[in-house]
Amino acid sequence: MSWIPHLVAELGMSFGISLSQLIVDNPEPLLSGISELDESLNVGFQSRSIYEIYGPPGIGKTKFGIQLVNNGLSRNSGQDHVLWIETHRCIPWNLVKNEEEEEEEDKIKRFSKVRLNKFTQLLIFFQNLLKEERDPYQLIIIDGFSQTICDHIQILRNRGMDEKQIHNVKCNHLILLFTWMTKYTHSKRSTIILLDDCMNTSYQQLDLHSFEDDFEMVDDGSNFFVRSTMSNNNNNNNNGSTATSFSSSPPSASSRDRAFGGRGRRRNIQVLKSALVANSAMGAKDFKWEIFLKCRIGFFWNWKEETLRADNFSKTHRRQFDRCRLAIVFDPHDERAKTLSDSRERGRKRGIDQVDMQNKIIKFDYNTEEGVFESVNNASVPLLLSFKRPSAMTSTPTMESTSQCSSTVQHIPDDQATTAMEWEMDEIVHDSEEE
C-alpha cells in the first residue's frame, strides 16, 4: 500500500494543491442557517466543493444565496471574501445585511460582484482567477448559471448541430468549465454554489432516469406544487397502517398516456428537473460532468401539514392553506445512486429486483420578520425509493410522498400516525383543465 501517498500526491498536484493541504487543511463549513439542511450536508457546505441549488421561479434561490453571502462574510471572524457572479439579473444589494455602518463598509470591501453572461466569459474568468495573486474567495455564487448554459446550447443549435452533437459538446464544455472550477476550489479552499432554474421534462421522449424523476409536480397557475401517484388498492389496504406506499411507471409510452389523462389531452402535470440536465442538449452522458458536483439540492413548494388538517376537517376554504418550502438533498456520489438506474432497468424486465435509496427532505420557510430562511419544526423526513410494478394513478399534494419514475415512496411519520387526511387530499389538488 506504499503507492497510496504517491497517488494522492499526484491527484493533488493535478488540481494545483500540495499533499500537506489535502491532509492538514480543514476549513470551517459554511452554514446555511437551516439547521436540518446543514446537518444533511455534514454540518454545512464544505470547502473544495461545487454545489447546485435549483428550483422553480419565485422559490427563493437568490434570497437563499444572499443568506449564504451574509453567513460567509460573518464566518472566520469576518476574514472571508465572497464573490457573486451575475449572469442575467442583478443582485438585490439591499438584501445584504447592514446592521452597522462600520460592519457594512467592511462587508463591501470583502464582497465582490461581476457580470458574466456567456459561457466563454465564465471559462476565461476562472482560468485567470486561478492565476491571480490576490486574496482568494472562500465563497463564489453563480446566479443563473443554467441560463448561461442554455444560451450557449442555443448558439450551438443555431450553427446547425444535431441533437447528438449538441449533447456531446455540452458535456465536454461543462467538463472543461467544471475542471477549472474544481482546480480553483481545491487550491483556494473555496466553495462554489450554482443557483439554477428548473425545466419541465414531461414532454421529453427520452428514456433517461435521474433522481428528479421521482418527484412529479403540478402547476396551480402561479407556483409548482406536488402531485404523487398512488394506487387505489393501496388506499384501501393501507388505511390505518403506519406506512403508505406510492408507485408509478417509468417514463414510457404508458406513463405519457396517463399524463394525458387517457383521453388524448395534456393534464396539468410538470416533471421538473435542473435546467443543467433538462435542456435541448439532454442525453445519456450527463453523468460525465455531474461527478464534479458535491451535492444537488432541489427547492420545491409544499403545504404546511397543520393547515391541511384544519382545511380537511372543516371542509371550508380548502385552497386557502399556508405553504412552505422543501429542500431535497441528493448525493450523486452515493453508491446507491450510482446503481439506481441499472436496478430500475433490471426491475422493469424482471419485476423482482428492488433498490433502496434515501434522499433527505427538509422543510423550511422564509421568516419575514427576521428576513432569513429557517427550518420548520420536525422538518427532516426520510424518503425511501424502491422499485415496484406500476399501478393506477391518483393525487396527493405532499412532497414527502411523491414518485414519478418506476419507484415507490414510503413515508413513515414520526408519530406513526396515518389519518384520513391522506385520503381526502385529492379534493385540494387544483387541476384547472378538469374544472
Structural domain spans, the chain: 1-203+272-382
The Cβ-side half-sphere exposure at 320, using a 13 Å CA radius, reads 5
Alpha carbon distance 337, 287 (integer Å)? 11
SS3 345: helix
Residue 247's nearest CA partner among 214, 210, 219, 200 is: 214
Alpha carbon distance 338, 8 (integer Å)? 24
Please, are residues 118 and 151 in contact by the beta-carbon 8 Å criterion? Answer: yes
* Residues in the chain, total: 435
Q: Which CATH number fits domain 1-203+272-382: 2.30.38.10, 2.70.170.10, 3.40.50.300, 2.130.10.10?
A: 3.40.50.300
| Span 173-212, pLDDT tens digits | 999 999 999 999 999 999 999 999 988 776 555 444 444 4
What percentage of the chain reaches a pLDDT higher than 90?
33
Give Cα separations from 102 to 68, 72, 97, 106 (angstroms): 20, 17, 12, 6
Residue 197's nearest CA partner among 212, 218, 214 is: 212
362-382 average pLDDT score: 78
Contacts of 102 (CB under 8 A, 6+ apart): none
6's grid cell: 504517491
77 CB-contact burial (10 Å; exposed 0-12 / middle 13-18 / buried 19+): exposed
Asked if pLDDT for residue 5 goes beyond 90, the answer is no
SS3 283: coil
Asked if pLDDT for residue 268 goes beyond 60, the answer is no
Residue 201's nearest CA partner among 192, 212, 191 is: 212
The overall average pLDDT reported for the chain is 68
Alpha carbon distance 289, 174 (integer Å)? 6
Alpha carbon distance 22, 52 (integer Å)? 23
**Could you identify the residue written with the cell 421521482?**
214
Of 189-193, 305-309, 337-341, least confident by mean pLDDT is 337-341
| Confidence tier at 270 by pLDDT (50, 70, 90) | low
What percentage of the chain reaches a pLDDT higher than 70?
52
82-86 and 111-115 beta bridge pairing? parallel
299's grid cell: 427547492
Alpha carbon distance 180, 183 (integer Å)? 5
Of 21-25, 98-102, 149-153, least confident by mean pLDDT is 21-25
| Span 90-135, pLDDT tens digits | 877 666 665 566 666 777 888 999 999 999 999 999 999 999 888 8
| Confidence tier at 288 by pLDDT (50, 70, 90) | very high
pTM of the model: 0.68
